[in-house]
Chain A
Amino acid sequence: MYAIVREPIDPRALETAIGAHCGRYGGVATFLGTVRDRAADGRPVVALEYEAFEPMALAEFERIAAEAGERFGDVALAIVHRVGDVAAGEISVAVVVAAAHRRAAFAACEYAIDALKSRAAIWKKERYGDGSGNWLPGMP
């Protein structure tokens, strides 16, 4: 399942949604991206503001999942990204992968999050305690 959401992400619900507990799979790998409370320069960060071009981002999620299937075999993926303000400590993105065996689950999970970060039409802005903010450099 692929989604852009405004509400908090519940990883357990994603496991259920992809059938991770149906008995077909032997391993589940979950990556959760969470918001750090410090910028690279040490400034306190209160939240990251995420923005997506939703139709293109969702189409990319689907492509990434299809590629993971081609590379790693029978895997089921959930790729969900939150948009809007995400407070420090909260989950901004979740990639949940169920596979027959752990190696495929780990590999597909890493592949999907790396691809999402470099390809999906999503942007983020650090917001600081003093009310200022800064769009983080992305990948062209």
Chain B
Amino acid sequence: MERVRVRVLAFARIRELLGGAQRSLELSPGARAGDVLPALAGEVPALGALADSTRIARNGRIVSLDEPIRDGDEIALLPPVGGG
């Protein structure tokens, strides 16, 4: 089976909980966008509570949680936005 290694970008509260703005993550073959945060929550349990409010961008575009993830993707974890 194909290995799926992605680069995760984290922002704001998620970045602080994760302890960094970037990291790499290996996912199971067939992984989908919605699998990324739960995979990280295994390591940082507090992230689990944020899954419902976090949007996922795959290679710079917001995607649904069932979007398939490919090896080499950049996955951004976006908390609810609030600039201004």
Contact = CB atoms under 8 A, between A and B. Distances in A.
A98 B3 CA distance: 52
Main secondary structure of the interface of A (DSSP, over half): mixed
Main secondary structure of the interface of B (DSSP, over half): mixed
Contacts, number: 70
Contact of B84 (A51, A53, A93): A93
A28 interface: no
A121 B11 contact: yes
Contacts of A140: 53, 55, 80
A125 B53 CA distance: 17
A116 B60 contact: no
B60 to A, nearest CB: 6
B9 interface: yes
Given A55-B60, A140-B53, A118 B12 contact: no
Contacts of A119: 81
Given A51-B12, A53-B9, A135-B13, A123 B83 contact: yes
Contacts of A53: 9, 11, 57, 76, 78
Contacts of A30: none
B79 interface: yes
A42 interface: no
B82 A56 contact: no
Interface in A113-132: 113, 116-125
B12 A117 contact: no
Contact of B60 (A59, A113, A125): A59
Contacts of A116: 83-84
Nearest to A140: B80
B81 A120 contact: yes
Interface of A: 33, 50-53, 55-57, 59, 81, 92-93, 113, 116-125, 135-140
Interface of B: 9, 11-13, 15, 53, 55, 57, 60, 76, 78-84
